[in-house]
Structure formats: structure tokens, C-alpha cells
Amino acid sequence: MNPQWVEGRAHEASVIAAGSTGPKMTLRELKAISSDPEATAAALEFDDIALSSSSDRQMAEVIADLYDKAKSSVTADDVLVANGATGANTIVFEALLSPGDHIICTFPAYAGLVDVPRALGADISYLHLSEKNNWDIDVPSLKSLIKPSTKMIVLNNPHNPTGATLSTEKQAEILKMASEQNITVLCDEIFRPLFHTDNTPTSFQEHSGYDKVITTGSLSKAWGFPGVRIGWIVCRNAKLRHSMSVVQNWILQDNSVIDKIIGAEVLSERCRPNILAKNLGYAKENLQLLKRFLEANKDTVSCVIPTGAATAFPKIMRDGQAVDDGEFCNTILKEQGLLVPPATQCFGPDPDGELKGRFRFHITIPPENFKKAIGALEAFITSEKFKGMKI
């Protein structure tokens, strides 16, 4: 994602459906959503907190609690606290990759998962995802990209921007393949557990056996606190964890003591289930609206319904051909005040034409805003301006 494209235009928009976080919350809202508001208010009483460096232990414990104990042996000892998922992913790449190391990344991708290893000199092979395969990973294609020198497979599940999820069975296949070749698997699970079907896949940490598996996450998406810069790295392999903790110490030193207190409260049993229920409720309502919109506009819009994460990745067509998504997004902003990011400019390059005509559509915004976004799309694709657009 190219944040500059969105930030430079936000002031022109009346409806913003360009992001990918949960609905952002205030501390007042956190206290109100808690099942024990008094206890939450007491936990968020900062006046007597010493503003010094502080232990990560409490934060690491609530992060370890995110994993299903019946399936996973993750404990607080396996957790490194970082500065958002941005900091977490950067620590992983800095610690484990050297110039020339071969890695495999899915594409399209959240840019940080590709740009950071590229900047570190990694040799990247792309596993191209496609709409006709529901944006799912084809394991034989992934296997065909492995070289004797492959060091890491970089995944993102649930996936930004497509909203696709990787099933438990496919995760197991990938882990088997990785373990046979001694390849580290990094899965950015920042959107976990935003799942929109009953068939909820496991985390990559909820498989037994192979331990060269790293997952990253943060408070930014499912938990709605992107301004609280708490993220995490989970890894059960002590050697990998040691390499990452050295980098963590010298890049980060420590997270803000205030952020850690807020983060532990957000992920507490009294707040976490209620935040998730609210965000999943928004997505459920919005996906109904999206399905109706797609059904009524089949000739103009195609979209795989997201099974996870916070975004959909629709394609706009005219006379059966993908429109110029840059022009589409700029014009709908001018004509209807709707801000959505164009795929080729925000998720490119687009060597196989899979991105053309697409934009990313935020599905966890409040339904009253999503309704306005759908209204703007409907008005625009039936307008004279749309008929004159480049394809």
C-alpha cells in the first residue's frame, strides 16, 4: 500500500473507505466497551505510572493468550514485543536476511513485506495470486519457486489487500514443504482473528512440529488501536528468537510504557472479545451490502467476497474490460467524494495485469459510512463520466 496516495487526497474526501484498520477507538470507548468498565478505567489510570523503561512481560502474556492453548504451545517466552507490525516485520527481516538471500513473497502484497527485504538486498521470487483462484495460494506453484538457497517464505494471512484466507490444511502443506527444505516461514497475521466465515483457520503457530515459524501481529487491525504502537513477533525457535531479540534491543530498546499498559488492556479478556464482536459485526453488515451491490452490477464489478481481514479487492470493468483504476479512483473522488486507493498505483507493479481496474475497499468501517461508499460507487458507475473513462 502506498500511504502517500491516500494521505495526499484525504482532505478532498467526504467518504473514506481507503484504510484497513478496525474502526479506531478512543480510551473513553475502550472503557465503555469493556465488560468491566471500572476495572478498565482503573487499569488506564496513568497519573502514578513512572515514565521509565518497563518490562514487556504483561504484554507478552496477553499476546501468548491469543493462541489456542489446545493447539499451540506458545508461551510469553516465545513473544517479542515490537513497534507495531511494521517494527515486528522489520526486526524479522533485519535479523534473519543478508544481501543475496533468496525469499519467496506472495503478490499482490502489503508493501512492507516486500520493500523491506528488497532494501536489505534479498533476492525475491513472487508467487502471483489471482482472482480466478480466489486469491488462494497454489502450493505446487509455491514449491516450484523454491531454490536450494531459499531462506524464507513470506506470507500474510488473512491477506491484505484481497481478504483471502489460507486454510489450516494449506498451512500444514506449506509447513511440511518448508520443514523438508529447512526454510523459515514468516506469516504476517496482523488481521487475525478477523474472519468472516465459520470456517476459521488456525494461526501458523497452532501447528505442532516444525518451529522455524514466525508470526507477527499488532493492535492496528482486529483490535482497532493503530496509534498504540504495540506489535509482536512470535517464534518458538530459540535460535531465531535470539537473533531477533538482539536486533529488537538495538533498534527498539523498549516500547512506550503507556502503550504497553493500553495494549495489555485492549487484549484483556474484558475488552478483547467485545472489540472483536463489534468489528466482525460491522464487516458482516457491510459484506451483505457489498454482495447486493455486486449482484446488481455483475457486468461492471467483479470481486471475490473476503473471508478474512478488513478489505475487499474489487475490479471495475466497462464493456468487459478493466478500467484504468488510477483514473477511476481520482474521478470518483472528484465526482462523489469517495476515497479508495487504486491497485496499480498502491499495490503495483502489475506485470500480469491482475491489478488493473481494481481498488481496495475497506469493509470494517461503520456500516453507515459503507452505505455511503456503496451509494457513491453506484452513482458513479451509472454516470456519463464513467462511460467516457479510459479502459
Ligand X SMILES: Cc1ncc(COP(=O)(O)O)c(C=O)c1O
Which positions lie near ligand X, rule CB under 6 A? 20, 84-86, 110, 112, 156, 160, 188, 190, 218, 220, 226, 231
Q: Least CB distance from residue 362 to ligand X, whole Å?
A: 11
Closest CB to ligand X among residues 86, 300 = 86
Closest CB to ligand X among residues 229, 372 = 229
Q: Least CB distance from residue 65 to ligand X, whole Å?
A: 19
Q: Which three cell numbers stand for residue 166?
A: 489460507
Closest CB to ligand X among residues 160, 331 = 160
Q: Least CB distance from residue 150 to ligand X, whole Å?
A: 21
- Three-state SS string over the chain comes to CCHHHHHCCHHHCCEECCCCCCCCCCHHHHHHHCCCHHHHHHHCCCCCCCCCCCCCHHHHHHHHCCCCCCCCCCCHHHEEEECHHHHHHHHHHHHHCCCCCEEEEEECCCCHHHHHHHHCCCEEEEEECCHHHCCCCCHHHHHHCCCCCEEEEEEECCCCCCCCCCCHHHHHHHHHHHHHHCCEEEEECCCCCCECCCCCCCCHHHCCCCCCEEEEEECCCCCCCCCCCCEEEEECCHHHHHHHHHHHHHHCCCCCHHHHHHHHHHCCCCCHHHHHHHHHHHHHHHHHHHHHHHHHCCCCEECCCCCECCEECCEEEECCEECCHHHHHHHHHHHHCEECCEHHHHCCCCCCCCCCCEECEECCCCHHHHHHHHHHHHHHHCCHHHHCCCC
Nearest residue to ligand X on Cβ basis: 84
Grid coordinates 489510570 are at which residue? Answer: 45
Q: Least CB distance from residue 169 to ligand X, whole Å?
A: 22
Q: Least CB distance from residue 331 to ligand X, whole Å?
A: 25
Closest CB to ligand X among residues 85, 317 = 85
Closest CB to ligand X among residues 314, 336 = 314
Q: Least CB distance from residue 347 to ligand X, whole Å?
A: 11
Closest CB to ligand X among residues 226, 367 = 226
Closest CB to ligand X among residues 221, 356 = 221
Q: Least CB distance from residue 48 to ligand X, whole Å?
A: 29
Q: Least CB distance from residue 216 to ligand X, whole Å?
A: 7
Closest CB to ligand X among residues 6, 287 = 6
